[in-house]
Structure 1
Amino acid sequence: MIFLMMIGLFFSSQPQPKSIYDFTAKDIDGKTVDFSSFKGKKLMIVNVASKCGLTPQYEKLQQLYDTYRDKNFEIIAFPANNFLNQEPGTDSEIKNFCTTNYGVTFTMMSKISVKGEDMHPIYRWLTSKSENGVMDSEVEWNFQKYLIDENGRLVKMLPPRTSPLDDEIIQWITQSTE
């Protein structure tokens, strides 16, 4: 009996991995976004840049969003300047670029760091198994994609060159969860 109580105490004292819903961040207009507001939605979190060879992915991200936004799906883009100074602009400049050139209407966040000592806490969670409970990863380049399920759990990381319209992403969005 004491043994069972000790096992129960051990497991109850182990910290549970956080979910994406435990975080807040500033959007591109400086407003605080509580990620718990995304409960029940599948999320794609992607780090973006305006002066990258992969920047045209904005167009496909918008197509994906237009197609699935009414099906409990959201894209959350974090501009980051971690790779070869490819996102040097201010939040206002980034917003103007995305709206003017790609008609972006999905959620754009304030510019952050996705690597290094000043890494944003959301990216620390995305890239650390000890925090997300699923996997370790490293942000390789701009437009790396992280898929989050309706319960706020990390499901998968997709490399930067993966098209936002890749069949794997479409199947993941459209599969029902039971």
Structure 2
Amino acid sequence: MNVPDVASYCLMYSLNEQEGFKNFALMVANTSETGAIILDNQSLRDVKWNRVPGTEFVWGMRTLGPAMRSHAVEHASSPFALLSVGTAAMDSYGTPGSCRKNVTFKCQTETQQVKEQLKMCKDVFQQGNTSEFCSFMNSTLVNLETMCAEDRAASLELSRRSSSELQVAVMRSSG
């Protein structure tokens, strides 16, 4: 099993226990940051941290609970590594934890690109034409302005889905 490079450390991970194995979460973190790592919304009080010689890092391992359960491991501000490992009679596994990205964006609906798209759509509507793309742009802009007004962060999934829908709308209007 390879231990991930420090550059690939994340703030949040998810991992699943494997049936038939004794499952563990193996973590590598900055020595000063271990107290703030949480597992399933609980602090890790029972982890024995071991120094990694010649570095500012430590590693620790925590036994996980019942088989096939999903877990979330996170730190509010300091990236760390997480490996999911397990042992069974004559068998073992080891995989990196799944890094979870919590993406937010700053609300800015008045960009030059948006202004140009809205002008084009206004011209289309003034000519008496309808456009799926322009209808989609208008509803997307209304949704973004609503989210910004309510000071909410959009999830990566919402951004990805909106982008995919926009691409479909563009293909339909141009094809």
The TM-score by the shorter chain falls in which range?
under 0.3
Identify, as 1 or 2, the structure richer in strand. 2
Q: TM-score, normalised by structure 1?
A: 0.26
Q: Which has the larger Rg?
A: 2
